[in-house]
Structure 1
Amino acid sequence: MRIGIFEDEYYRYFQPLARLRPIFDLRCGIYLLREKTSIRFPNIPTDYFVRDILKSLMQETYASIRINEVVSSSYLFINARLLADSSFYSFLHSAEDGQYILIDGELAAARLNATHLSLLAFDEEGLLVFPSDDRLKIISYDKPGSKMAHYIWDLISENGKQLIDDFQLSPGSGYCGGQLFEGVHLIKEENIFIGKNSKIYPGVTISAENGQVFIGDEVTIMPNSYIQGPCSLGEKTLIKAGSKIYGNTSIGHNCKIGGEIEGSIIHSFSNKQHDGFLGHAYLGQWVNLGANTNNSDLKNNYSTIKAYANGALTDTGLLFLGLIMGDHSKTGINTMFNTGTMVGIMCNIFGADFPPKYIPDFSWGGKNGLELYKIENALQTAHIVMSRRNQTLSAEMENLIKYYYNQALLNYS
C-alpha cells in the first residue's frame, strides 16, 4: 500500500497561501499538513497529487517522491484539507479496500485497490477525480474532533486544537535539550518540550498552563519574553527581547519574531522582528513586517468579520481574524491592516491609513493607490532576501512566480 495526499478544488479558498505551494504544505499546529500524515504512517511510501501548475515545482522540491502518478495497486488517499485527531487516523489504519470515508459529506480519505484505481481520472487542472462506482462503500465518520478545512482562516481558528493534538506526536514532554539560564520560569514544565541547543535567557516565562509549548532545536529566546501555550516555535527561530507570544500561535522554522502575537501562524523564513501587534493572522514564507506594523483582528461593533475568498467577499463567521499575507510580501514601518485583510504574493505595502482589505498579487503602494510591482524588482529582492539565509530561489519557483505575474498583468490592464 501507498499513501496518496491529494488537493481538491477547494485550493481556491486557501489563496494567497496556496499560490506557491499545495495545500498540504501549509502549516497548522506544530507541523505542515502533510507531515501529520507521514508521522502517523511511518515507513509507508507517500505520493503527492497536486494541480498541474505546481507539478514541476513539486518534482524539483521533492525529487524522490512521485507526483501525480499512480504507481501501486493499493492506495490510501488522504485529502490535503483534513484536520484530524488521532482517533480518525486510527480509524484509517483499519480501512478496507473499496471505501470512501466522508466527514460532513466530503471526501476525507479513500482506500482503493487496482480495480478502483483504473477508474481514477484527472480534471483539466490536474486534480484527481475519484470514480463513482456502486462497488464502493461510503462510510460517514461522525465522531467529533476531525473536520475538513474550507478556507485559509479555518487553519487559523483550528490552530490551537491542532497544536494540542500535534504535541502528542512530538518527541515528548517535560524534556529540555537546551540551555536555560538562571531566571527562566517554566509553568507546568511537564507540558513543555525544549529542543536541542536552544537557548532561553533570563527573565523569560514559558507558561503551559493553558496548553503545551513546543520549542524546536536551536531556538533562541531573548530576555524578558513571555510564551503562552498552546504554542510552537520552529527550529532556528529567534524570539527578540520582550516579545509577547500568546496562545494558539505557531511559528515555523528560521523566523525572527518580536512584539506581540496572538492566535497566529507564521509559516517559516519570515520576519516580524519589531514592536506591533499581529493577531489571528497567517503569514507565508519570506514575509517581512516593518517596525510597528499592526493588524486589527476584532471589529469595534463585535460583528463577524468578512474577508475575500476566491474573489468574493465572504462572511467568515469569526469574531477574530487579522491579516492574511502571501509569500515574499513586505510592509513599511507603521503599516496598519484592517480585520480580515488579504495581501497577495510579492507585494510591498506602505503608507499612512488602512490599505484596501483585498490587495492583489504584485501590488506596490497602500491607501493612496496601488500599482504593479515590476517583476524584475520583485525577483531581485527575493534573490537578495533568500541569499541572506543561504537559500536560493529555484528555477521552477521563479517560473511559477512569473506565471502569476502575467496573471496580475491581465488584471491591471
Structure 2
Amino acid sequence: MLPKTICIYEDEYYANLYPLTYTRPVFELLCGSMSLAERIRRFFPDARLVFKCRDHIVPVLKEKYPAIPINLLIEGPCLYINGSVLFDESLFKKITSDSNVTLVHQDVTVAFWNALSTKKENCDATVIRYPWDLITHNPEMITRDFNNKKRMDGKLHEGVHLIESGHISIGNNSIIKPGVVLDAEHGPIIIGENVTVMPNAVIEGPCYIGDNSIIKAGAKIYEGTAIGPVCKVGGEVESSIMHGYSNKQHDGFLGHSYIGEWCNLGADTNTSDLKNNYGNVSVTLNDKDIYTGSMFIGLIMGDHSKSGINTMFNTGTVVGVSSNIFGAGFPPKTIPSFAWVDSKDVQRYRLDKAIEVARTVMARRKVTMTENYVNLLKYIFDSSPS
C-alpha cells in the first residue's frame, strides 16, 4: 500500500547531532549526494509531504520549502518516517506491505502508519545518531546514489585522465580542466552541474561534488567525500562532508570531518583525525563524553564558523555555530557557539557582529539573510553558554 501522505519527523535524539542540528532539522543533514529527507522522498514521489520538527526552526524551513506543510495536524491515513534513518529499498518494501505495522530497530521507531499501528516488527535499519555516523555511511550512500545520476554531459579538456569511466558521472555545464585525474577504481564519482575542476586536481571515488562548486588546482579529494553545492575546495580532503556554501580554498588537511554551511577554513588549516596512540576517539557533545568506537574522527563544525590561517584542530574537535578560531597551538576540543577563540582565550562573540558578518558572507553568494534567519541565530545565541 502506497501512502497518499508521508510525514518525515525528528525524534527526540536531535541534540546528539549538535552543532549541525542547531540550524536545521535532522532530516536536512547531508549523507551521500542528498539529504536524509531527499533520500526518503525519492521512494514516494507522488505522496503529499509533511515535515515535523522543532518549532524555532519552522520559519526558516518554511522559507526553503514554501509548498510543504510543517508541524501540521494530519487527518486521515499517513505514513510517518523517522528523519534520522537512511531509508532504503528494504524498508520501503516492509512498510508498504502492511499498513498496520510499526517498524522498530533497537528500540528506535523507524516508520509507522498513524498512531493506530498495533503490530511492531523489528527491522534492520541505519539510524543516524551522531555526526560521525554520517561520515561512516557517506561512501556507501554515494555508491548507492550513483545509479540515479549516471551521465557524461560536461566538458572534458584534453589531458583529463578517467579511471573506470563507467563509474563517473559529470553534470551539465561542468568543466574538467587538463591534468585532472578522476579515479573511480574504488567507487563512483558524481560531479553535479556547473562544477569546475581546475588543472591537476585528483578526485578518488566514492566522491560527490555538488552543483556550482569549484575544485581548486592541485586539490586532492580522496574517497568518502561529499562536497557542496556552491563550495570552493582545495588542499587535501578525505572522508569528509561539507554542506553548501562553505569554503576550504587553500592547502591544509580536512579528514573524517563534517562541516556545516557558510563555513570558511583559512589557509593551512589542518585537522587531526587520528590519535598518536591509534586509540578510538572520544567526542564531547552536550557536556557528555561520547566514546565513538572509531579510530578516525576529525572536526565537527556548525554553520557560519571560521578558522584563521594555520589553525590546528585536535582529533574529535567540535565547534558550534558562528565561532571564530585563530592563533597558534591547539584550541579547545569543545568550542561553543558564538565564541571568539585563540589558543589561550575564549571570549563571547557579539551577536550583532556575527549577524553582520553572516549577512555579508551570504550576500556574496546572492543569498539574502531574512528576518526569520536572524531570529534563528538569535535563538541559538540566547541558548548558548555566555
The answer to whether TM tops 0.5 is: yes
Aligned to 1:361: 337
Q: Distance in 1 between matches of 2:93 and 2:206?
A: 24
- Residue 48 (1) aligns with residue 24 (2): no
Q: Does the 8 A contact of 2:260 with 2:302 survive in 1?
A: yes
Q: For each residue in 1:158-215, what CA deviation from the matched residue of structure 2 results, as whole angstroms up to 9, or x when unmatched?
A: 11111112223x232xx21010000001111111110000000000000111111100
Q: Does the 8 A contact of 2:39 with 2:86 survive in 1?
A: no
Q: Distance in 1 between matches of 2:197 and 2:95?
A: 39
Q: Distance in 2 between matches of 1:93 and 1:219?
A: 38
Aligned to 1:67: 70
The DSSP-based 3-state class of the residue aligned with 1:176 is: coil
For residues 231-310 of structure 1, the aligned pairs below 5 Å read: 231-310=207-286
Match of 1:152 among 118, 131, 145: 131
- Residue 163 (1) aligns with residue 145 (2): no
Q: For each residue in 1:193-242, what CA deviation from the matched residue of structure 2 results, as whole angstroms up to 9, or x when unmatched?
A: 10000000000000111111100000000000000000000000000000
The DSSP-based 3-state class of the residue aligned with 1:108 is: strand
Aligned to 2:21: 18
Q: How many residues align?
A: 383
**Quick one: which amino acid aligns to residue 226 of structure 2?**
S
- 1:325 is displaced (CA, Å) by 0.4
**Quick one: which amino acid aligns to residue 109 of structure 1?**
A
Q: Distance in 2 between matches of 1:383 and 1:70?
A: 34
The DSSP-based 3-state class of the residue aligned with 2:187 is: coil
For residues 219-238 of structure 1, the aligned pairs below 5 Å read: 219-238=195-214
Aligned to 2:112: 110
The DSSP-based 3-state class of the residue aligned with 2:60 is: helix
The DSSP-based 3-state class of the residue aligned with 1:286 is: coil
**Quick one: which amino acid aligns to residue 21 of structure 2?**
A
The DSSP-based 3-state class of the residue aligned with 2:39 is: helix
Q: For each residue in 1:350-382, what CA deviation from the matched residue of structure 2 results, as whole angstroms up to 9, or x when unmatched?
A: 000000000000000222111001111111100
The DSSP-based 3-state class of the residue aligned with 2:34 is: coil
Q: Percent identity?
A: 45
Q: Distance in 2 between matches of 1:38 and 1:85?
A: 11
Q: Distance in 1 between matches of 2:361 and 2:113?
A: 43
- Residue 101 (1) aligns with residue 77 (2): no
- Residue 205 (1) aligns with residue 181 (2): yes
**Quick one: which amino acid aligns to residue 99 of structure 2?**
D
- 1:330 is displaced (CA, Å) by 0.6
Moved segments of 4+, more than 4 Å: none
The DSSP-based 3-state class of the residue aligned with 1:147 is: coil
The DSSP-based 3-state class of the residue aligned with 2:139 is: helix
- Residue 81 (1) aligns with residue 84 (2): yes
**Quick one: which amino acid aligns to residue 317 of structure 1?**
G
The DSSP-based 3-state class of the residue aligned with 1:83 is: coil
Aligned to 2:155: 179
The DSSP-based 3-state class of the residue aligned with 2:7 is: strand
Q: Does the 8 A contact of 2:19 with 2:320 survive in 1?
A: yes
Q: Does the 8 A contact of 1:2 with 1:72 survive in 2?
A: no
Q: Does the 8 A contact of 1:20 with 1:397 survive in 2?
A: no
Q: Distance in 2 between matches of 1:393 and 1:139?
A: 45
The DSSP-based 3-state class of the residue aligned with 1:321 is: coil
Q: Distance in 1 between matches of 2:238 and 2:71?
A: 37
Q: Does the 8 A contact of 2:95 with 2:101 survive in 1?
A: no
Q: Does the 8 A contact of 2:40 with 2:87 survive in 1?
A: no
Aligned to 1:136: 118
**Quick one: which amino acid aligns to residue 336 of structure 2?**
P
Q: Does the 8 A contact of 2:266 with 2:311 survive in 1?
A: yes
Q: Does the 8 A contact of 2:160 with 2:177 survive in 1?
A: yes
Structure 2 runs not aligned, ≥5 long? none
The DSSP-based 3-state class of the residue aligned with 1:82 is: coil
The DSSP-based 3-state class of the residue aligned with 1:406 is: helix
Structure 1 runs not aligned, ≥5 long? 118-134
Q: Distance in 1 between matches of 2:8 and 2:286?
A: 23
The DSSP-based 3-state class of the residue aligned with 2:50 is: strand
**Quick one: which amino acid aligns to residue 158 of structure 1?**
H
- 1:43 is displaced (CA, Å) by 1.6
Q: Does the 8 A contact of 2:149 with 2:190 survive in 1?
A: no
Q: For each residue in 1:241-275, what CA deviation from the matched residue of structure 2 results, as whole angstroms up to 9, or x when unmatched?
A: 00000000000200000000000000110000000
- 1:283 is displaced (CA, Å) by 0.3
- 1:92 is displaced (CA, Å) by 2.9
Match of 1:6 among 2, 6, 9: 9
The DSSP-based 3-state class of the residue aligned with 1:302 is: coil
**Quick one: which amino acid aligns to residue 378 of structure 2?**
K
Q: Distance in 2 between matches of 1:311 and 1:48?
A: 29
